[in-house]
Structure 1
Amino acid sequence: MAQSRQKSYADLRRKKLEFQVDDHVFLKISPTKGVMRFGFRGKLSLRFLGPFEVLERMGKVAYRLALPPSLLGVYNVFHVSMLRKYIPDPSHVVDYEPLKLRDDLTYEEQPVKIVDKEQEFKRRTIHYVKVQWRNQSVRDATWELEDEMKEKYSYRFEDSSMSSLED
C-alpha cells in the first residue's frame, strides 16, 4: 500500500517525454571536479551536451542518437530520463568547445583563473583561492585550499600573482 501511494505521488510529478525521429535533444552528462573540497566531495552539477538528432526509437523509453565522432566510444542508445528536448532558436548561437568525455559520460573540470585570494576569519587567515573552472561562469567559482590547488595543478601556477591559469 505504501509503494502504491509513493508511486502515485511520483507519477504526478513525472513528465511524459516522447521524441520523434529527427527531433533534437540534449544529453545529460555529469562533471567531476579533480579537487576535494574541505575534505569531502561536493554534489555533481548536471550538465547537458548537444543537441543531437534522434535517429530512431528503441522500445518505449529508449532512443538512438546521432553522436559525433568525438563520442565514438559511447554507446548511442539512451534512456528518456537522460534526454531533454531542444527547442531551436535562430538567435541561439552555441559556442561549442568539445569536451574530453570519459566512457561513463563524465569529464574533469580544469581551473581557468584565480578570481580572489585569502579568506580571513576571526583570529587567523587561511590561505584559500577562489577558482573559476572551465565551462563555468565566474559566479560559479569555488573556494579551494591554496596548497591543494598548488599540489594538484602545480604546472598552472607559474608566478606568485596567480591571476590567470590559462594555457
Structure 2
Amino acid sequence: MEKIYFAGGCFWCMVKPFDSYEGITSVKSGYMGGHVVNPTYEQVKSGHSGHLEVVEIVYDEALFPLKKLLEIFFSIIDPTDDEGQFQDRGSQYRTAVFCTTEAQKKQTNQYIKSIESQYDQPIVTNIYDETPFYLAEDYHQDFYKKNPERYQQEQIDRSNYKSKL
C-alpha cells in the first residue's frame, strides 16, 4: 500500500471523489505542511498555523495507479489559483501534492507538465515531500456521509463560485 496527500481546498469536498474505488483503502481528512504540532481545526482555519487542509489517500498502486489519482485530483481543483479554492479563500486552502516517494514526485511533475497547455494561466499546485500528517478531528472524517445536506450545499457553493469565474 502507498500513501499520498492532496490539498485541494476544503477537505470536506476532497474525500468523496476518492472514496469509492477498488484499490483505495482509506481517505482521511487532516492537516499538513505547517509549523504547529498537532494543530486544531480552528488553528488551521485561521491560516496562522501554516498547514493546508489535506486528504490522506492509502491506495494499492497495482489496482489504482497514481495517474488515476492525479486525474481525479486535477479534475476537481483549479490548479491555477494560489489564493485558495473556489469559495474557500486563504493559504490553508491552496492546492498541493505531498509525495511519500521520489517516484510519486517524478510522476506528479510529469503529469503537471502534460496538462499545462490546458490552462490559460500557470499551474501553481505545489509538490512537496511528505511532512507530518495530523488527523483532523472526528467530526471532519467522512463529512459527506455524516452531513449530507451541508456537503451538498458546499458542492453548490463551489459550483456557483466556478460559474462566476
The TM-score, its normalising length taken from structure 1, stands at 0.21
Structure with more contact order per residue of length (Cα contacts < 8 Å, sep ≥ 6): 2
Q: Which has the larger radius of gyration?
A: 1
The TM-score, its normalising length taken from structure 2, stands at 0.21
The structure with the largest strand share of the pair is: 1
